[in-house]
Structure 1
Amino acid sequence: MRFLLCILIWIFFVGGLWAYTAQRDASLPKGTAPVADRDVLTGEYVLEITPGFSIDKDPFALSLDDAPQSPGLEVRLNGQALTVGSGEISRGKVIRITEGLTPTAGFNEFYVQASPPMSETHLDHGLKIRFLDRGSPVIDQTVWGSRGALVAGTVSFSLTAHKEDNHDH
């Protein structure tokens, strides 16, 4: 009897999980195009990141001997890594990124991750993120980390093509 009860419970849990995932996958919108299929916008884009702390290399990160040394700051636009200078990143110093910024028409997302110094584990830390399009701010948000934790987060935004960029006159 116990063996039969175990099989029924197993079928109930696994069947329920299967039904949940099938229902969830069916409810996803079908009209969203993959990022590679969307139009890449051209413009004068600048990403400014201002740390409220001196960024150190993450002491818990896996490091390989032949890998280049990371400055402790990771920035991604729609999953693609952006190049950050290899110098020291200090508190209040604005980091300007202009290369590799290829946003697409519609939804976009920046992911940032930075490691605060081990000596400041008792403090909350923030990274101010500003994304400029032709000098006008599109994003002006701060990503926070508490009590010395890794400061990581995403900042989402939407863009449309400028009238002069649109060739469908």
Structure 2
Amino acid sequence: NFFARGDTTTPVKYSAVVFAANLSLNLILMKPFGHIGIAAATSAAAFVSLYQYIHGLKKRGYWNISAALKQKIIDITCCTVIMGIILTLAQYLLNLILPPKHLGFLFLKLSVIGIIGLATFLISAKIKGVLDITAIIKNLLSKRKRDDKTSIKQA
């Protein structure tokens, strides 16, 4: 949005602040937390960047979120929290049932947790009305038809 309006200096200034935040947080968190500190610092710097862009766009009057979008964000967050709770419970139960050391059981646990996570999110999103599975399937099928036509033309 800044570039489209001819403002190329603001994003560079924001990037410098994010770089400084990332570097300083890396140096602070690396020693006590190791490689996890580096990841945490990068995540924190990303939030600094997000805050800067949202604040800058709001200040210029370019940022406004509709009530419908706010509600959708709340609904998606709710679905994500539900998924997290179910996955935590599933992981706990799977750790009780399956031995942790065997590689085959680890792959089985990972697969089961992935399927449970996907199913939980899809079901909760469908119930909350955030997700229209019919539209997604229709989209995927129409994309597949377009891809098939493109590959026929290329042949």
Report the TM-score range of the alignment, normalised by the length of the smaller protein.
under 0.3
TM-score normalized by the length of structure 2:
0.23
TM-score normalized by the length of structure 1:
0.21
Q: Which has the higher contact order (CA 8 A, sep 6+)?
A: 1
